[in-house]
Structure 1
Amino acid sequence: MAGVEPRSVWPATHARGDDGAMSVGGIDVRDLAREHGTPLFVVDENDLRSRARAFATHFADAFAAHGATCDVYYASKALLASRIAAWMHEDGLGIDVASGGELELALRGGMPADRITLHGNNKSDAELTRALEAGVGHIVVDSMTEIEVLSGLAQALGRTAPVLVRVTTGVHAGGHEYIATSHEDQKFGLSLASGAALEALGAAHAAPGLELRGIHTHIGSQILSVEAFRESAERMLGLRAAFAAQSGVELPEVDLGGGYAIAYTDGAEALDPAVAAREIADAVAAALATAGGSWPAMSIEPGRAIAGPAGITVYEVGVVKRVALDDGGERQYVAVDGGMSDNPRTIMYGAEYSAELAGRVSHSPAVLSRVVGKHCESGDIVVRDVELPADTARGDLLAVAATGAYGRSMASNYNAILRPPVVAVGDGAAQVLIRRETLDDLLSWDVAPG
């Protein structure tokens, strides 16, 4: 498959010392665990930022070969802190946000408002108002209702809202049903097939207070096939041409979203951004040749592909026990001090991960194991199937790879568990991006009786 290759699941600076201890960013994970506790999200700053710059460079170069431009917006839902927003700005990316909270974090990090895109299928009046007041670069409208509401708010504030219309193209891509976002029967966007997207473009163009800038789509996540992006580009540029024929207006912008796959397990495949950039640029050029019109300003929105491979989670092992299987075999259950509260993807999507002992070397044979959490749920599984040493024991450190995306950002306080911190490492130094929650934090939300 073009653009796909096996990848290591560990961050670029991942290494093992003579005693078998893992280090990231030049720091021994044992030292990180002692200083910051466990569970702990560790982000390789250099890896994350180099991935961001690679996307920006590859896509800019690939589209420049056609005399066009392509901007990269970091999808902040993958992992966001104000420092990450600052890095993205420094490295030439914009940022897309999907809530008022994400918007505030992006602004706090110094991301210029005009480099921010606000998404969401059900934005509140308060979120839309804040976006208008801040002067965000794009608001992606998701329904006819939102077009009407945003028009009213913009007029009341005396502002003009720059909008993209989110289009459901019908291109099916990605893995689990819940991360495929372009089939018809789902909550996002306006259908191309039914004519709703074209109708929404007309409404947005006519609505006072709105400046219709273009169209947006997102076809899914964990996409390994560039063919899906090619088909999506064809349909989007066909829609653009249809609207131009209807209205006489050629939309200046097209956003093809993100969804670039990463490797979660050793030997798994990932979409190579350099190859994907060239092939997607060529696909857009071919689609434009068919649909007609001038080149629009293009943009994409990778998040997971930037943050995911750059992060690991470090846990401390608690209980280890053996369980007999129906086939006469045995499974080793390794319980850690986190679980579904810091990584719900396994229980939500059946996600698979790689895990290794992080604090020492073991010469014991590897045995079939399952890494589980401490929550009061039998489905509280972190890694469903992995080979771990038979002598794995209480007090060991365990690292789970490729958890930079959707771990901390989807974390919860289920069972009143405190959410872990995020620590960035690089060149032998560490900095806290998000501090660990405390019991005082937890109790401060509770309204005591009396």
Structure 2
Amino acid sequence: MKLAVVGGGSTYTPELIDGFARLRDTLPISELVLIDPDAERLELVGGLARRIFARQGHAGTITTTTDTDAGVADADAVLLQLRVGGQAARQQDETWPLECGCIGQETTGAGGLAKALRTVPVVLDIAERVRRTNPNAWIIDFTNPVGIVTRALLQAGHKAVGLCNVAIGFQRKFAALLDTAPGDIHLDHVGLNHLTWETGVRVGGPQGADVLPKLLAEHGDAIAGDLRLPRQLLDRLGVVPSYYLRYFYGHDEVVRELATKPSRAAEVAEMERQLLTMYADPQLDTKPELLAKRGGAFYSEAAVDLAAALLGGGGSPHQVVNTLNNGTLPFLPDDAVIEVQAAVGAQGAVPLPVPELDPLYSGLIAQVTAYERLALDAALHGGRERVFRTLLSHPLIGQYEYAEALTGKLIAHNREHLAWA
């Protein structure tokens, strides 16, 4: 089995490699190709990846290349984890929206749109290269904004599934609180990428007993603390929102915080500098502890589980993924991409039924879905007016003066990545 990772020079990659090594019985990889345009980073990451495989006794080969066509040729699955513009672009995404009093974040609001505009054309080009070399290969997208990028891939007819680590993070957290195995926890997880709620937590599978009320009653303070939301809000909702909902439920508070502290991008850039120094050590053959602070917790386990299921070698039968709605949420169009539990196998991902949602959640989902549709149109066709309309539609912006000012700033900060600008 051959897998290719586009963005293989990422400092995330050793987390992925560690998972491939530990879970080789679930996903028996014989060849792994790391692809990245940055040859220097690729050499450092590739060297550590080989040492991790060797230490853990994995017999598979790891190669590196800057040539995307060569790297994806004959791959059974291609994982996308790229960041167009690098941490420098992320730093901009997290700062210039604050000048207008709006959230500065790399996956939602104006910063998230900027990332989508930079990313979608690049991802579609890579996907076409995959289709030319192996039209049967699966594309697993971990590149943010996952919902918009996955919708672009599916709209273009690619075999693609989107992946996020939010759900597996909740699964592991809840399993620890309940003192049970993570595999025993089934989440009633619903929404869009980075806009989701856990409406139920079941032990033993989709038909198991819902222990969410027990979790909130006994561990509500700990859960709320992790989310940085008031305990009282969780009790009133009776669900657990993802931590990205804080940008919506506490917008002004978050803007004040972001304006008075270093950006997450700056923190990550410093971590990356330290990690790359560590990766250069020829004696290092395990992922460093610092990597846990980089983000992407449990990404490797989620990626292995999804790839194994898609390639027919195993994996969990039900997984939280990003895939086509196809009537699952009746208030959305069929071609919307939602993040829910799905039956995953060689045929792809088929969403499990979702009970009728409270309008408190379905209304916000519908509005952000409309934004994502406009965002994809802007990413595919460009144009200042499309950017303005997309920003105006976003619930974190929504005022014409903000949308107009943010349009100018977005274009000015991303001109080198926008072919139409």
Q: Which category describes the TM-score, using the shorter chain as reference length? A: under 0.3
- When Rg is computed on C-alpha atoms for both structures, the one with the higher figure is 1
TM-score relative to the length of structure 1 = 0.24
More helix as a share of residues: 2
What is the TM-score normalised by the length of structure 2? 0.25
Indicate the structure with greater strand content. Answer: 1
